[in-house]
Structure 1
Amino acid sequence: MASAAPCGVTRQTSHLSATHSTGQFGGHALADTTGLKLPAHFSAIVVADLKAKARHLVVTNKGLIYVKLAKPKAGKGILVLAAQPDGSARVVGGFGNYGGTGIYLKNGYLYASSNNAVYRYQLDAAGKVLQPDQPQTIVTGLVMGRQHETKSIVLDNDGHIYVNIGSPLNSCQTEDRKPGSMGIPGCPLLDSAGGIWQFKADQLNQSYGQGVRYATGLRNVVGLDWNQTNNTLFVMQHGRDQLHDLFPQYYDEKTSSLIPAECMYMLHKGDNAGFPYIYYDQFKKAQMLAPEYGGDGKKEVTGKYIDPIVAFPGHMAPNGLLFYKGTQFPQKYRNGAFIAFHGSWNRTPEKQGGYLVAFVPFKNGKPDGPWEVFADNFAGTDDILSPRQAKYRPCGLAEGPDGSLYVTDDVKGRIYKISYHN
């Protein structure tokens, strides 16, 4: 099924300035020492340094912060933080003996995922978990490969939970990541991975086989969110790697460092985004036949797969997606999308890219203008040749009860809070 042509593929850089103001939180001032570059009248503080790989997070309406860790710290895979008078946040508890990425709040429950299961915990009126050592199991047996194994989650308004099942292969080659290896005919892995699966949010002990393959042809989705304006699922796909390394006869190093695009998709049940048969070229604004399946960097595909609604530069690794519902930020941000880009590793000979939070304005549930950089300089330098040089890498996004934006880093476990001040 083909969609309308994509929009918003041109990057528009916002007016950036390093902020050094102080914000008022709980009657005390905590200075902005983050070094982040933000639009005018925005400032950021570091609320916590967890010294752990902080992935996605949520903030309750009472201000409690729940952070999912990629690997448990002291046996705890979910940390609980409470705000302090100076604006910082202190770890006040932890639970869950499993690592993972996904975490979500809905209808009085905290949902969290490991790399092969989804659990939930009932909350009390103050947003505290009632029985942290007795999670309810929602789904078990989720497919997990040696890459793209994380399970991001989101819930809709009709009792469903959506789970990313990433492809265990880069591009469905017969021999993964081997130069010249062609694609497996029919790519059978799509029967169990490479898409979004839907389960019932309130039914316990579901097996993987009880899920519905809601959408397919998605290599790996880490950032996803439910758009309340049009009641629709939106996801950010990690595009495929190594076009030059695997097929140097068709792609030079520079081309391979820039494509394919990192894509935002608006998904409906039954949609197919085309992985591994195609990739999206943001310069040609076209779906291109993958070299594993007969492509040569020039052959386009039309009318068979959905188009992205926004196409970003390649290899920036979108790990977080959040639709802003608050009122603290100016009107232009209302109902728009924030995306946390974790940062690239394979843009040689170009500098590595990403390591920022971007923003896409939305109107009536669809993009309404080009994307722009919202928060930058998490890496601490513009001259990144390897991700190891990045001090911090954005991963998860959450909105606080006051409308502030929280951002996690999964290198050192830093948590930022970004606020607007007139």
Structure 2
Amino acid sequence: MKQTYIFTVILGLMLVMTNCMDAKNNKANGAGVKPDADNAELKLPDRFSALKVADNVGRARHIAVTQNGEVYVKLNRTVDGKGILLLADTDGDGRADEQSGFGDYGGTGIHLNDDYLYASSNSTVYRYKLDDKQHVLNPDQPEVVVSGLIDRRQHNSKSFTLDDDGYIYVNIGAYSNACQERDRTKGSPGIDPCPILEQAGGIWRFKADGLDQSYEDGIRFATGLRNVVGLDWNRQDNQLYVMMHGRDQLHDLFPDLCTTQESADLPSEAMYALKEGDNCGWPYMYYDQIQHKKILAPEYGGDGKKEYDGPAIDPALAFPGHLAPNALLFYTGNMFPEKYKNGAFVAFHGSWNRAPELQEGFYVVFAPFKDGKPTGEWEIFADNFAGMENVVSPGDAVHRPCGLAQGPDGSLYVSDDAHGTIYRILYK
């Protein structure tokens, strides 16, 4: 009788543990998650659906999803003194019902890697030790990975990514549009050589496990990049890929050389595959995706036709101008169809520099890759974030895609820094 009772108790405990583990796995794998009836108002390909994980969380920049399906959100500006949020779904419906925060700084970058959560302000990269649930152990005591990075307001987000060999790659954006003697001034010539490139306008590499590093402890991995907000490590190609924000105001600064329509479309928002020592040419040139040429910048004697003959690599893929690429993600999950495997998603935030033409962007695109390289094609994957067809001013857009992350089940998460919405896109 006693043995039967003990057996019953043990069996009951085992069932409880099994149910808890099943609930945990269901949350991580999306079981029981139902998309919003209107797919969160997004336009998606057939058999894809979406839901809003959270809304009004603040200016959500980059995001990271834990192995349990919880979402870390980096806020551009702190809310109630917190610059990092952790969104949890306790009932398995896919929608966050618990929210906590820490980190007394704004910024853009956030990344989960092994036992640490990395996050950045506009001048410093921090890391936090994680427990086995990928929760931060000491939220008030982050370690400083690298500090003292240039922050002169313009192009100051310290976006970053990590490789598999213990390195972190940090964007140091150029605090200028085109390195003119007088920035953004009509007809002002460019400075040659551009002094900004000594400490900005490129990607710097540091040790991911190094602490209290400065510029001198890292290397300038690649240069000639005006500003990079979206970057990711392509593990199929074992290479760093970045999306550069192209220069502004070709017509405003040189109206005799460029029409308003040409200025709306040019230059390309270019994807670059980078190796150590690469130069992408800013500020001396820009890439013209219509002519498929590297064009000498007007600040340096260009006329819109003259090709640049200096040191600069070609882009891996060229998109239209002034879409503002703010996130890049290589998809490695198994939920989406095979064509998406190892391809790249890019979140286009939408720009201001197409005026007086209509603005463009405000969507997520997909670029297929083959054997680790882009095929040259791309398509709009998720649209209608703006909530309208014709956007005159970027401030009119209801939502603006900014960050991308992959869930443990292979679903795609998208952040919006206009309304503070976190989306989750599923495939069935």
Shared fold, TM over 0.5? yes
Question: Take 2:32 and 2:114, find their aligned partners in 1: how far apart are those partners?
Answer: 31
Distance apart, 1:184 and its partner CA: 1.0
**Conserved in 1, the CA contact under 8 Å of 2:32 and 2:93?**
yes
Work out the CA distance in 2 between the residues paired with 1:348 and 1:388.
13
In the alignment, structure 1 segments of 5+ residues that lack a partner are 1-23
- Hey, which bits of structure 1, 4+ residues long, moved more than 6 A? none
1:70 aligns with 2:73: no
Give per-residue Cα distances to partners, 1:154-175, cap 9 Å, x unaligned: 0111111000000000000010
SS in 2 for 1:300: coil
**2:203 matched residue in structure 1:** 196
How far, CA to CA, are the matches of 1:249 and 1:318 in structure 2?
Answer: 28
CA distance in structure 1 between the partners assigned to 2:208 and 2:351 by the alignment: 34
User: Is the CA contact (8 Å cut-off) linking 2:35 and 2:49 kept in structure 1?
Assistant: no
Q: Which residue in 2 is equivalent to 1:363?
A: 370
Residue 100 (structure 2) aligns with? 93
1:104 aligned residue: 111
Are residues 1:226 and 2:230 paired? no
Whether 1:48 and 2:48 are equivalent positions in the alignment is no
State the alpha-carbon separation in 2 of the partners of residues 28 and 294 from structure 1: 57
Instruction: Please name the residue that 1:19 is paired with.
Output: none
Distance 1:90 1:186 in 2: 53
- Contact 1:319–1:395 (CA under 8 A) maintained in structure 2: yes
- Compute the displacement of 1:365 (Å): 1.1
Identical pairs, percent = 60
Partner of 2:388: 381
Q: Cα offset for 1:32? A: 3.5
Aligned to 1:37: 43
Hey, what's the Cα distance between the residues in 1 that align with 2:279 and 2:33? 51
Q: TM-score, normalised by structure 1?
A: 0.93
Structure 1 distance, partners of 2:331, 2:96, is: 22
Which of 152, 167, 177 is equivalent to 1:145? 152
Q: Is the 8 A contact 1:321 1:339 kept in 2?
A: yes
Partners in 2 of 1:198 and 1:211 — Cα distance?
A: 5
Q: How does 1:222-371 map to 2 (within 5 A)?
A: 222-302=229-309, 304-371=311-378
Distance 1:277 1:369 in 2: 25
What SS does the corresponding residue of 2:63 show, helix, strand or coil? strand
Q: Which residue of 1 aligns with 2:407?
A: 400
Give the gaps of 5 or more residues in structure 2.
Answer: 1-28
Superposed CA offset, 1:133-191 (max 9, x none):
11011001001112100000101111110000000000000100000000012001100
Contact map agreement 1:58 1:104 (CA 8 A) in 2: yes
Q: Is the 8 A contact 1:64 1:127 kept in 2?
A: no
CA distance in 2, matches of 1:399, 1:51: 19
Aligned 8 A contact 1:79 1:91 in 2: no
Which residue of structure 1 lines up, in the alignment, with residue 13 of structure 2?
Answer: none
Residue identity in the other structure for 1:64: E
Report the number of matched residues.
398
**What SS does the corresponding residue of 1:38 show, helix, strand or coil?**
coil
Q: Which has the higher contact order (CA 8 A, sep 6+)?
A: 1
Alpha-carbon distance, 1:92 to partner? 2.7
Structure 1 residue 192 displacement after superposition: 0.3
Q: What CA deviation, in whole Å up to 9, does each residue of 1:352-394 have, x standing for no partner?
A: 0000000000111101241100000000111111011100000
- Separation in structure 1 between the aligned mates of residue 33 and residue 414 of structure 2, nearest angstrom: 21
| Aligned-partner residue type, residue 401 of structure 1 | P
Residue 27 in 1 paired to residue 52 in 2? Answer: no
Kept in 1, the 8 Å contact 2:36–2:52? The answer is no
Query: TM-score, with normalisation over the residues of structure 2?
Result: 0.91
Partners of 2:69 and 2:259 lie apart in 1 by: 50
In the TM superposition, what is the alpha-carbon distance from 1:30 to its structure 2 partner?
4.4
Instruction: State the 1:31 CA deviation.
Output: 2.2
**Is the CA contact 2:117–2:127 (under 8 Å) kept in the aligned structure 1?**
yes
The structural deviation recorded for 1:93 is 1.2
- Compare CA radii of gyration and give the structure with the larger one: 2
1:39, 1:161 → 2: CA distance? Answer: 34
SS of corresponding position for 2:83: strand
CA distance in 1, matches of 2:96, 2:178: 41
Which residue is 1:133 aligned to? 140
Match of 2:418 among 408, 411, 416: 411
Instruction: Report deviation, 1:106.
Output: 0.9
Aligned residue in 1 for 2:173: 166
CA contact (8 A) 1:149 1:166 kept: yes
Higher helix proportion? 2
